Structure 1
């Protein structure tokens, strides 16, 4: 159950961070206005809170692992929202990142040396 909770938190964090950055992008680069930017800032703040809910107590580990989730999630966001078509190298890179996430977060460790 802890791994499932962690995975769900990673997905929620990805939606908040990628969505927040996208809203700011839309507000600024696509001239949609300050309300889009404000929504992005709120979503990015929510990302920070969601990340703090991860069961692992190590900030550096959580943020390092989230980097891989962000890579894969950004490609998925681009496909769904912007109709971006990743090439095979994008997919290979994202898979490598997700393998890294699994190793960083879920590899067996001694309980005393987290």
Structure 2
């Protein structure tokens, strides 16, 4: 099984959760204890990116960007209660197309 797409989805969740923990501490006056799961989540995120089936790290990170943008908009809606508008949806569609081209475009042998 190719783990790239599931790894990217899980990595996006881990990255957003980890970053939100820092946001909650710094911007929402939450306890510094929020940083502990935040750091763990960001470490999980970094490890998950290593599961991508890509020949170069930079290519994996670039392709992951499209999934991250989709996950960020899902977070916006599910956690923050702000529904993405047509421009958000259009933007994420463009990003996912770009990510697909980066990850699965033909490469010279």
State whether TM-score is above 0.5.
Answer: yes
1:67 shift after superposition:
1.4
Correspondence list, 1:29-48, <5 A: 29-48=27-46
Pair 1:25-2:20 in alignment: no
Give the TM-score taking structure 2 as reference length. Answer: 0.92
Q: Distance in 1 between matches of 2:30 and 2:82?
A: 21
SS of corresponding position for 1:62: helix
Number of equivalent positions: 109
Q: 2:59 aligns with which of 35, 58, 61?
A: 61
The equivalent residue for 1:75 is 73
1:85 shift after superposition:
1.2
The equivalent residue for 2:90 is 92
The equivalent residue for 1:49 is 47
Which runs of structure 1 show a deviation greater than 4 angstroms over 4 or more consecutive aligned residues?
A: none
Runs (5+) with no aligned partner, structure 1:
none
1:57 shift after superposition:
2.8
**Contact kept? 1:28, 1:37, Cα under 8 Å:** no
Q: Distance in 1 between matches of 2:53 and 2:75?
A: 25
Q: Distance in 2 between matches of 1:57 and 1:38?
A: 32
Give the TM-score taking structure 1 as reference length. Answer: 0.89
Higher relative contact order (CA 8 A, sep 6+): 2
Q: RMSD of aligned C-alpha atoms?
A: 1.2
